[in-house]
Amino acid sequence: MKPVLDFIVEILEGNIIFNSITLLVAILGIFLSVYFYLKSLKKKKPVYTLRTFSLITENIKKVPSLSIKHCDKNISNLSITRIAFWNNGKETIDKKDIAKKSPIKFVIDEGYEILDAEILYCKNHSNDFKISTNKKEVIIKFDYFDNEEGIILQIYHTGNKNKNFYISGSIKSVKQIINLNDISYFESKLLWLIDKFDINKVRRFTKKVYAIQLVILSLLLPIAYVSQYIPAIKKYSESGNFSFVFFTIILFFSFLFISIGFRRLKKPTPKGFEIFYDEI
């Protein structure tokens, strides 16, 4: 046991903080190089996100003298769903990429109806987005759309949940059209992985990352306590310098809180889609 401790102490000898920063920067540099390389690859990445506003609920039935009609038909609830749909990739999505027998469309679940729909916002009118609507689906047609170009749909319907809608359709070289409501912010930054793997595999990967973070957090504090008995670290503490472990804790917590704050502030939609977040 003693030779092992001696080996650890020997490693910790020297300028611990400088060496740890150098190692951390090197590892981070490798990770960022791979990340930005993969992110820069030209791919089609159609994504969407939804918000539903409930205007009238089933409770209206409690008022016998009140009825809401649409085209002379009574409805017991009414909601508005906004859907932001755009190309999150670097490669242009062209109308020729859409399978003729499987057009892009938003479909409402059984038991609910689409009452009306409109294009609330189009980032680039040259895209020539058009929609056609029936009681069950909103079909989207377009000429093309580039990176961060797309539309915001506003759909009036019965039902009151985001999950009442799902997307259908096939795009050449695209495995799936990602619903950003179903993934975390961290997962949304890994869309280049989702292109290669099933979304469930990516979700399991992110859960492992969160688990590793918790394990590191649970280990850092006891390690910080024990580190005061390691001569090399104790020497730095007594001289007024931060210990290696204490510095690592600060760095880790800083990264964690910055990422949480950025997640709260960052909106997943592209610039220009601010109307998506307006209240009804």
Q: So where are the chain's domains?
A: 2-39+201-270, 46-182
Spatial distance between the Cα atoms of 187 and 194, rounded to a whole number of angstroms: 9
Q: Which pLDDT does position 38 carry in this prediction?
A: 59
14 or 30: which leads in pLDDT: 30
Phi, psi of 199 (to 5 degrees): -60, -30
Q: Which pLDDT does position 65 carry in this prediction?
A: 74
Res. 1 pLDDT band, cuts 50 70 90: very low
Contact 97, 161 (CB under 8 A): no
3-state secondary structure of 280: coil
For the chain, the straight-line distance linking the first and the last C-alpha, in angstroms and rounded, comes to 67
Beta bridge partner(s), residue 51 = 82
* Per CATH, domain 46-182 is 2.60.40: yes
Taking CA atoms, 169 is separated from 42, 103, 177, 208, 250, in Å, by 21, 5, 9, 32, 48
Closest by CA to 148, choosing from 275, 276, 270, 274, is 270
Q: What angle do CA 263, 249, 24 make, to 5 degrees?
A: 80
Backbone dihedral region for residue 4 (phi beyond 0: left; psi -120 to 50: alpha; all else: beta): alpha
Q: Which pLDDT does position 66 carry in this prediction?
A: 77
The structure's pTM equals 0.66
Q: Residue 182: which residues within 8 A CB-CB, separation 6 or more? A: 199
Task: Give the count of alpha carbons within 13 A of 158, CB side only.
Answer: 16
Amino acid at 121: Y
Dump pLDDT digits (tens) for 54-105: 888 777 777 777 777 888 888 888 999 999 999 998 899 999 999 999 999 9
Ranked by mean pLDDT, which of 73-77, 140-144, 215-219 comes out on top?
Answer: 140-144
- Mean of pLDDT values over 146-175: 92
Contact 123, 150 (CB under 8 A): yes
